[in-house]
Amino acid sequence: MLANTPPLAERMRPQSLDTYIGQQHLVGSGGVLRKAIELGSIPSLLLWGPPGVGKTTLALIISKQLKRPFFSLSAINAGVKDIRAIIDEAIELKKQNKALPILFIDEIHRFSKSQQDSLLGAVESGIITLIGATTENPSFEVISALLSRCQVYVLQQLSSDELVALVEQAITQDELLQRKKIHIVEQDALLRLSGGDGRKLLNVLELVVQTVDKAEISITNEVVLQQVQQHLAMYDKTGEQHYDIISAFIKSIRGSDPNAAVYWLARMIAGGEEPGFIARRLLILASEDIGNANPNALLLAKTCFDAVHVIGWPESRIILSQTVTYLASSAKSNASYEAIGKAQEMVKKYGDLSVPLHLRNAPTSLMKNLDYGKGYKYAHSYEGNFAEQEFFPEQLCGTTLFIPGENQAEAKLREFLKARWKDKYGY
């Protein structure tokens, strides 16, 4: 390979929707985004999805198909000054009656509030059409004023069939790979190492082809793993190691091992993981795996989440370490998690069951005449602030969804419920 040759992933970047692989729910026949492109007008939008699924490529194709100028910024190194410079160019284009530009911002979730604020006027007036790419939930990372001015499209991880199609496309269409005879004997290792990331898949394929460096190459799982282990870093925030280390991290906390948990935290820090991402996972875990066994866990996790967004690296590591070791050392319960899961299954199974009359609100005389609210017992009017009555629809009477865990805190909840409901729910 020549030194100046672009990477395979760049050489294989599709130039039209017809060669674009994946996201058929958006750009396939009848897809909502394809329809908007074909109509020649798109709104400002946010493309939310995991790495390597075609967000940048899709923005480029939109610009090319609509014949609009294309400006690109990375939120990692761009600032308000860069944004204003592009807006100024867009204003000049409008004065000359030329096509207005598309501004693509990669990793828009990394923009601060002031940087996002600087986009509002231009987006609202239509001076620019914003396409933001993000791997994080826009509801958390994009300010509400900007979010309300954009359509959000969710891009999905590439399927195994789509990843295989990418490999076949590269082998048969790339000018440099066509010079070799490449046989895909086994593909499991290629697909597993890609983690659903099309860009990483092509990077691994190119690495194997370059390092084997023969006119005829048989790609097997053994060949792929041997070459990758020798040449790729062990932690890649967008690849399989990323997901494996997160899995080990969460399972160590769930398994009450603060020592292993803080080790995996250090691995994520060394790999460049975003503190906000780690803090979000701790918030989920505090409720899913600890819950009412220690309600303070959720409070500490929320405080940690807020703090790391203010503090940043490197000091956030201290706050994360405190939270991780506390959560790992806490009593565990997934009772709340199990309860909502069972309740949702029940809703699917039984549909919209009627609310019992005595639980219904009766704001009008007509509703009162229909016995809405009749017979309802106001708990605070009774001894112990409790009056036994039925709160379920008739068909579900006596169903137990919440079962307190076997820990000191939830044992008190169990005693409280049993004292009131006796044997109705099996407490």
Q: Omega before 314 cis (within 30°)?
A: yes
165 and 138, same domain (yes or no):
no
Residues 35 and 132 in one domain: yes
Cα–Cα–Cα angle for 212, 215, 216, nearest 5°?
80
Predicted confidence at residue 163, as pLDDT, reads 93
286, 302, 328 - which closes a domain: 328
Residues 90, 46, single domain; the answer is: yes
**pLDDT, tens digit, 9 for 90 and up, residues 345-402:** 888 888 878 888 777 777 677 667 767 777 788 878 878 888 788 878 888 888 888 8
- Domains of the chain: total: 3
Q: For the domain that residue 100 is a member of, what is the CATH number?
A: 3.40.50.300
Q: pLDDT digits over 212-245, tens only?
A: 878 888 888 888 888 776 654 444 544 446 667 8
Q: Which secondary-structure segment (H or E) carries 74?
A: strand 70-74
Do 221 and 250 have their domain in common?
no
pLDDT, mean of residues 122-130: 93
Residue 196 reports pLDDT greater than 90:
no
Query: In whole angstroms, how far apart are CA 72 and each of 145, 156, 182, 295?
Result: 22, 23, 35, 45
Say if 259 falls within a structural domain: yes
Domain assignment present for residue 402? The answer is: no
Residues 146 and 52 in one domain: yes
**At which of 231, 261, 289 does a domain end?**
231
pLDDT band at 127 (very low <50, low <70, confident <90, very high): very high
Does 281 map to a domain?
Answer: yes
- 81 domain-assigned: yes
Which has the closest alpha carbon to 60: 115, 10, 110? 10
pLDDT(102) > 90: yes
Q: Write out pLDDT tens, residues 277-329.
A: 899 999 999 999 998 888 899 999 999 999 888 877 778 889 999 999 999 88
**What domain range is 53 assigned to?**
22-154
Does 352 fall in a domain?
no
Tell whether 77 and 190 lie within a shared domain: no
Q: What's the confidence (pLDDT) of residue 367?
A: 65
CATH number at residue 247: 1.20.272.10
**Single residue among 231, 256, 288 that ends a domain in this structure:** 231
Q: Do 310 and 218 fall into the same domain? A: no
Residues 68 and 173 placed together within one structural domain of the fold:
no
Taking only the tens place, the pLDDT of each residue in 12-34 is 999 999 899 999 999 998 899 99
Residue 391 is assigned to a structural domain of this protein: no
Q: Give residue 245's pLDDT.
A: 81
Whether residue 172 sits in one domain with residue 88: no
The pLDDT mean for the chain works out to: 85
CATH of the domain at 170: 1.10.8.60
* CA–CA distances in Å: residue 198 to residues 33, 58, 192: 20, 13, 11
